[in-house]
Structure 1
Amino acid sequence: MVNKTVYDLYDWKEDVSGKYILSTCVQSIILVVGVIGNAFVITIYTWHLKPKKDDRYFIPILAWIDLLGCIFASAKSLVENQYPLKYISSFSCKILNFGTAIFIVSSILLLMVISVQRYQKICRPFGFQMTLKVKRIAAILTILLAGTLSVQSFIMHENVKVFHENRNISGYECASVPGTLKDSFQYIIIVIEGFSIVCMCLMYGLVGRAIMKRFGREEDVTSDKNGEPNHNSRNKLISRRRFSLMFMLISLVSIVCFITSWTFILLQRKDPAFWRKLSFGQAQVSLIFRRFYILNHAVNPLFYGFFDPKFRRQMKTLFYNFKRYITRNVRDVKLDLSADSSQQSEMS
């Protein structure tokens, strides 16, 4: 057997891919959880709860964005992990980057729109409220703006040749083409996302203050002219507060995820050799935080399940019907097998 003494592209690829093991496991789990969770949300809110005229209107739209965002972002990460230095094709690079970008931007812009809606409902309940038409226009404009901003990801990404820093070895990875205007577009997106974050913080700050101020006056607000409890008004008030708190927490998680990812992007921008300087263990953990934005697409169904009792009831009904269906089919199969066995015994 001949000992290998030449360090080649295969060895370089093995060294790099070893740093992606933990990231691959985490991204796979996030992908499964995100796809299943958001699929349940879309099914229940679209066909069972019919959210067009209440606080749930934006939930199925956000769930579609999260579902597709989870698929594109996880696929992008997993392909990069699976084919380091030997990326599959420029077209795949462009599509995955474009899909990832459009759903990231759509998510944060839609959350900003939702924060404005919650502000109107809690702080200005007798003022202008978003009608169904306004909600539809806001959702469409959000996706169109996100698509416009994300076109640069399709244009500027492709297979780029990279070189080993110490050896005469080269490979290909999915990256922005050198000499393009990627930095300018990224700064524009950072400014827009930063504005959205500031807007959400401001809106939910006012919402939180309004809820705390009115908490002590709840009995007065939910009583009729005779001083008797008005249970319908009370339930509406509690529901409105519950949904406001839910969207507040969803936005908070989103902000933490995006800030974490952008921190590592800026560190990499400041020092191109940032990742190469990390130890094996540091690279494993840092890469997970670098892709923390994907978690934003997967965790929202947990908040819907915790804060929306109607969603929980529909989930229980869905699982109960599924269990009955499986049990009935298993019983039928057993009966068929038993009948076949009896026929064979009689024939023998």
Structure 2
Amino acid sequence: MDVEAWNSDLMEDMLPKTIFLICCMAIGLFGNGFTLLIYCVKMKMSDERYFIPVLATVDLFAATICPILGVMESRMIVTFYNASVCKIFWAAASFLTLMSVFVLAIIAIQRYLKVCGSVGSNMNIFWRRISLVICIVLSAAFATPMIIFHSSVEIKNVDKNLTGFQCARTNEEDETVVIIYGVILVLTILIIMTLLVVIYTKIALKLYRHYKSIEKHENSMWIRQSDDHEMHTSDTLVTGSSDEHGSSKDQGLQEKEFKPQKIPKTKVDKDSKKTNITHKLTTMFMVITMFFILCYVPKVILLVMEGLYDGFWENMSDNLRHVLTLVNEIYIINNIINPFIYAFMDSRFQNESKNLFHCLKI
């Protein structure tokens, strides 16, 4: 048996992971590409949706680079000879993944300022651009070490007397440096997750109190109208007997006029309408963040396990390794799920999408 035959045997076990990654890449390319088309071409840029095209662009590239890297690692398990390709793809995948995380954190801060901040505390265009620069710098700082830590690493099969190469972490660096980097990376992700949970919890409480106050106001108006109707009906009954011919007709008109009606919920005031849009988009970003946390929790757990146990992947059974290898890629769902959330929760995105499809049919 040669290295190619050894690689072919290993590829069969990685087929589920390969299919999963290819499907994710196809969905991510279409979904994020369509999102960019709608938000950049059909919709006017606004501060409410400023970060959506940015997030869609990052997700578009992440949903391309990360699956490609995963597929190459799954198809060239012991035949990954090109060290430069390994380094470049690991650095690019890390940069895009972290960029997506940092952008979600900036979005959370923006939503907090809009919903919970004082009047005039909104993030203006200058600070939005500065925040994006900070995201790029931090992502690049965390991604750059991947060029050093990863390469085409020699791997031996003693039983078959074969030597292959795989794209993996090298053993040439000081183990202490690698551990410190891993700890900082995991802590950063955990801090961001905690920050997101705290921010959106405060936002959720604010929105809850807002809608409860609206409901209370509408109920009080309903009760007030009902009381006014009852008082007017009583006055009509007292005075109605003095006019035998006109009382029945007048009473009917007056009852119709004073019939209590619930206050309509449609907001005609411009500021109220704008506030309503802000709250709906904030809820949408809360859902996006919830999916991000769900997708990244398995990844963080596996990163911690890798750091705590030497030979974590090598010492487990083949079946368990195959399952956890697939679980380790679940984070990519975070880069493909957002277009579906926009489609369900952004009414303007829905309308523009329908208009676009209608034009294509014509």
**Under TM normalisation by the shorter chain, which class is it?**
0.7 to 0.9
Matched, 1:216 2:209: no
Work out the CA distance in 1 between the residues paired with 2:201 and 2:97: 23
Partner AA of 1:213 in structure 2: R
Taking structure 1 as reference, are residues 12 and 69 closer, same or farther at Cα in structure 2, changes over 3 Å only?
A: same
Work out the CA distance in 2 between the residues paired with 1:323 and 1:286: 44
Q: Report the alpha carbon displacement of residue 300 of structure 1 after superposing the two structures with TM.
A: 0.7
Taking structure 1 as reference, are residues 159 and 56 closer, same or farther at Cα in structure 2, changes over 3 Å only?
A: same
Work out the CA distance in 2 between the residues paired with 1:143 and 1:179: 28
Q: 1:54 aligns with which of 47, 53, 56?
A: 47
Work out the CA distance in 2 between the residues paired with 1:215 and 1:165: 67
Q: Which residue of 2 aligns with 1:36?
A: 30
Matched, 1:153 2:146: yes
The answer (yes or no) to whether the contact 1:120–1:128 under 8 Å persists in 2 is: yes
Work out the CA distance in 1 between the residues paired with 2:216 and 2:271: 11
Query: How high is the TM-score relative to the length of structure 1?
Result: 0.83
Q: 1:264 aligns with which of 292, 302, 324?
A: 302
Q: Which residue of 1 aligns with 2:105?
A: 112
Q: Which residue of 2 aligns with 1:9?
A: 3
**TM-superposition CA deviations, 1:33-82 (whole Å, max 9, x none):** 0011101111111122122x331000000011101111110110011111
Work out the CA distance in 1 between the residues paired with 2:32 and 2:300: 25
Q: Which residue of 1 aligns with 2:15?
A: 21
Work out the CA distance in 1 between the residues paired with 2:157 and 2:300: 26
Q: Report the alpha carbon displacement of residue 107 of structure 1 after superposing the two structures with TM.
A: 0.9
The answer (yes or no) to whether the contact 1:65–1:106 under 8 Å persists in 2 is: yes
Query: How high is the TM-score relative to the length of structure 2?
Result: 0.80
Work out the CA distance in 1 between the residues paired with 2:160 and 2:306: 22
Higher Rg of the two aligned structures: 2
Moved more, 173-182 or 107-116: 173-182
Dislocated runs of 4+, deviation >4 Å: 219-222, 227-230
Q: Which residue of 1 aligns with 2:331?
A: 293
For 1:170, what is the secondary structure of its paired residue? strand
Q: Report the alpha carbon displacement of residue 253 of structure 1 after superposing the two structures with TM.
A: 1.1
Partner AA of 1:186 in structure 2: G
Moved more, 233-242 or 32-41: 233-242
Matched, 1:184 2:180: yes
The number of aligned residues is: 312
For 1:216, what is the secondary structure of its paired residue? helix
Q: Which residue of 2 aligns with 1:302?
A: 340
Work out the CA distance in 2 between the residues paired with 1:125 and 1:221: 23
Matched, 1:175 2:175: no
**TM-superposition CA deviations, 1:289-339 (whole Å, max 9, x none):** 111111111111111111111111111122222222xxxxxxxxxxxxxxx
Q: Which residue of 1 aligns with 2:39?
A: 45
For 1:272, what is the secondary structure of its paired residue? coil
Work out the CA distance in 2 between the residues paired with 1:18 and 1:39: 32
Work out the CA distance in 2 between the residues paired with 1:86 and 1:276: 22
Partner AA of 1:218 in structure 2: I
Taking structure 1 as reference, are residues 221 and 38 closer, same or farther at Cα in structure 2, changes over 3 Å only?
A: farther
The answer (yes or no) to whether the contact 2:108–2:199 under 8 Å persists in 1 is: yes
The answer (yes or no) to whether the contact 2:116–2:203 under 8 Å persists in 1 is: yes
Q: Give ranges in structure 1 of 5+ residues lacking alignment.
A: 1-6, 325-348
> What are the residue-to-residue correspondences of 1:221-300 with 2, within 5 Å?
230-231=267-268, 232-269=270-307, 270-274=309-313, 277-280=316-319, 282-300=320-338
Q: Report the alpha carbon displacement of residue 272 of structure 1 after superposing the two structures with TM.
A: 1.5
Q: Report the alpha carbon displacement of residue 169 of structure 1 after superposing the two structures with TM.
A: 2.2
Partner AA of 1:35 in structure 2: L
The answer (yes or no) to whether the contact 2:305–2:312 under 8 Å persists in 1 is: no
Q: Which residue of 1 aligns with 2:72?
A: 79
Q: Give ranges in structure 2 of 5+ residues lacking alignment.
A: 219-262
